[in-house]
Amino acid sequence: MAKTWRFSAPSSAASLIYRSHKDERDITKYRALLNHLVFGSPLSGEKLLQVDHTSPLFVWTGKDAFDKIGPPQGVNKPPGFISCGNEEYDRWKAPFETVFTAKDGGLDGDKDTSFDPSDPEFSEPLVDSMRSVKDDELEQYRQSRAKKTTA
């Protein structure tokens, strides 16, 4: 997955931050890169650049190259493979989809029903009453807009 993300970042002229939210070791690198991207603060050299696929990735725009990433592993397209229309992207998409298969019908499959916000188990009277008020306000707004457009 990391190599696929590394390929897609320079293809889109994007920076890449790929880390676990549970890993606190690289939080200073994460903050420094975000400060650079958001506020334009200078980065402290190549110390922040981290491209090893076995560890968190910190790659900012222009610091990675396709020859450093290397070719994708495996070239066989999985059954039902749908091309994205770009041969180079398809070379990376095929092995990615082989490893990370979509379960239960994929993206077009049924929605996950394990969480239903209308379930009484998740009831919060204060939030529910405010939601009801906002729904009423929205309905009144829609009716007033409909009257204005027909008049």
Top pLDDT among 133 and 54 is at 133
Q: Where are the beta strands (DSSP E) in 38-130?
A: 57-59
- pLDDT value of residue 75: 64
| pTM of the predicted model as reported, rounded to 2 decimal places | 0.49
- pLDDT value of residue 139: 93
With contact defined as beta carbons under 8 Å apart, do 74 and 90 qualify? Answer: no
Cβ neighbours of residue 102 closer than 8 Å, sequence gap 6 or more: 109
Top pLDDT among 138 and 14 is at 138
Find the mean pLDDT for residues 7-30.
Answer: 76
Q: Mean pLDDT lowest for which of 25-34, 72-81, 85-94, 118-127?
A: 72-81
